[in-house]
Structures are given as structure tokens and as C-alpha cells.
């Protein structure tokens, strides 16, 4: 049984017994539903619809009306204005990056000495882990994943924070949570530069040291 199904069962059980429903149950269910949409539904829709819909040269909105245990309904509207009362969540997968495989350098047999990062916040909070990638990840989680994503940092042609797994660097992407992935295919020096960019963009005043 999936985690989402367990949550559904707990929610239904609470309703049947008229028990108070913890907000975190609904929040977790929403996050897992959005993750399924990002990882499984949207890629299929993009792959199947884009080649055909490209023939149409006017803007339109496709509305997928899904009600459990009922036939799926898809409606078309040429209006792009939604009422303020309508709850809309835009989940757009990052486009696939076309890498020039011939230009990708393979790792050299000679490895440089291991280095690490120490990041100090204005309030004195210090983040330092055994591996630089873990320090980068913890800094991003503390600052806010979506705030960092909005900065638009790119590594190896891939967004630093992406909602898709890259076909070349996927093994170097760390699953953060909620469908977000952090690319860690970079040197300690590059990770330091990434943290410094985050600090500058968000005015965090971070002190970043290579150890």
C-alpha cells in the first residue's frame, strides 16, 4: 500500500468516526498528489499532446476535470482569465536538456584532495557536513527550496533545483522532496559559488568557507 493510499484511509477513517482531522494529513496528501502529477502525469501529457497541439496557432486552455470513479472529462477554453476564486496550481515540468555528449568530459583518474564547506549565517548558525553536497542541500532547505529555484541558477545546463530528472546527470540529482531535485555534479568551488549567488540574490549575508 502506498503512503498516499494510507493517508486516504486515515482521512476516511477519521471522517467515519467523526474524529478531528489533523491538518498535516491533508497537507501531506496534497504534496503527494502534486508529486504524482509532476513525475508521472505531466510528462505523459507533454509527450502525447505537444506533437499534435503544435498544429494549432491560437492560444487555448485545456482543462482536465477528474472526479474519482467517473469518466475523465477534458474541456477546451479560449479564455485565459480564471476567476479569482478558483484555486489554480501551475505545475510546469522543466524542459529536457539536450546535452552534446561528445563535449562532456569524463572524470579524470587523478582526483583532487577532498574539500568541504562551512556556511555561517548572520545569526551565527553554522552548517558544515562531511560532504560539500550535503552542506549545499542543507543551506537550500534552510533558505527555502522554491526561493532558491526562483533565482535561476544553472549547473551543466540543468536548473540547480529542477522538477525533472536529467537524462545525463540524473544520477547526480538528489531528491529533495515534493518533486524537487538538486543537481550536485559540481566541484566544491562551484558549490561555494552557488551558495554565494543564493546569498547575494536573497541578501542573506552568508559566509562561505572551503575547508
138 versus 12: which is more confidently predicted?
A: 138
For the segment 153-159, the average pLDDT, to the nearest whole number, is 94
Query: In the structure, what pLDDT confidence band is assigned to residue 116 with cuts at 50, 70 and 90?
Result: very high
* Burial status of residue 84 (CB atoms within 10 A of its CB: 0-12, 13-18, 19 or more): exposed
Q: Is residue 104 pLDDT above 60, yes or no?
A: no
Long-range contacts of 94-103 (CB under 8 A, 24+ apart): 94/159, 94/162, 94/163, 94/164, 96/164, 96/166, 96/167, 97/157, 97/158, 97/166, 97/167, 97/168, 99/156, 99/157, 99/167, 99/168, 101/168
Query: In the structure, what pLDDT confidence band is assigned to residue 161 with cuts at 50, 70 and 90?
Result: very high
Is residue 193 within 8 Å of residue 208, measured between CB atoms? no
C-alpha cell at 104: 562532456
The domains of the chain are located at 3-77, 114-210
For the segment 149-164, the average pLDDT, to the nearest whole number, is 93
For the segment 40-68, the average pLDDT, to the nearest whole number, is 79
Share the mean pLDDT of the chain: 83
Is residue 173 within 8 Å of residue 182, measured between CB atoms? yes
- CB count within 10 Å of CB 192 equals 20
Chain segment 63-85, per-residue pLDDT in tens? 787 888 887 777 777 666 555 44
Cα gap 167→88, rounded to integer Å? 30
88 versus 132: which is more confidently predicted?
A: 132
> pLDDT at position 89, please?
55
Q: Which of 151, 129, 150 is nearest to 139 (CA)?
A: 129
Query: In the structure, what pLDDT confidence band is assigned to residue 173 with cuts at 50, 70 and 90?
Result: very high
C-alpha cell at 166: 536529467
Give the contacts of 47 (CB within 8 A, at least 6 positions apart). Answer: none
CATH topology of domain 114-210: Replication modulator SeqA, C-terminal DNA-binding domain (1.20.1380)
Q: Is residue 16 pLDDT above 80, yes or no?
A: yes
> pLDDT at position 84, please?
46
Amino acid at each position: 500500500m502506498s503512503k498516499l493510499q494510507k493517508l486516504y484511509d486515515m482521512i476516511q477513517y477519521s471522517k467515519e468516526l467523526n474524529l478531528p482531522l489533523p491538518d498535516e494529513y491533508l497537507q501531506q496528501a496534497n504534496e503527494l498528489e502534486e508529486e504524482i502529477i509532476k513525475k508521472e502525469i505531466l510528462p505523459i501529457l507533454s509527450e502525447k499532446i505537444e506533437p499534435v497541439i503544435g498544429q494549432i496557432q491560437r492560444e487555448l486552455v485545456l482543462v482536465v476535470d477528474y472526479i474519482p470513479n467517473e469518466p475523465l472529462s477534458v474541456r477546451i477554453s479560449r479564455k485565459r482569465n480564471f476567476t479569482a476564486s478558483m484555486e489554480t496550481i501551475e505545475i510546469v515540468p522543466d524542459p529536457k536538456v539536450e546535452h552534446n555528449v561528445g563535449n562532456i568530459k569524463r572524470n579524470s583518474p587523478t582526483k583532487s584532495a577532498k574539500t568541504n564547506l562551512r556556511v555561517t549565517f548572520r545569526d551565527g548558525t553554522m552548517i558544515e557536513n562531511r560532504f560539500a553536497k550535503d552542506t549545499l542541500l542543507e543551506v537550500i532547505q534552510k533558505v527555502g527550496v522554491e526561493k532558491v529555484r526562483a533565482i535561476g541558477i544553472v549547473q551543466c545546463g540543468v536548473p540547480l533545483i529542477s522538477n525533472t530528472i536529467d537524462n545525463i546527470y540524473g544520477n547526480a540529482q538528489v531528491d529533495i522532496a515534493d518533486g524537487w531535485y538538486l543537481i550536485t555534479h559540481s566541484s566544491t568551488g562551484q558549490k561555494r559559488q552557488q551558495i554565494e549567488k543564493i546569498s547575494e540574490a536573497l541578501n542573506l549575508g552568508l559566509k562561505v568557507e572551503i575547508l
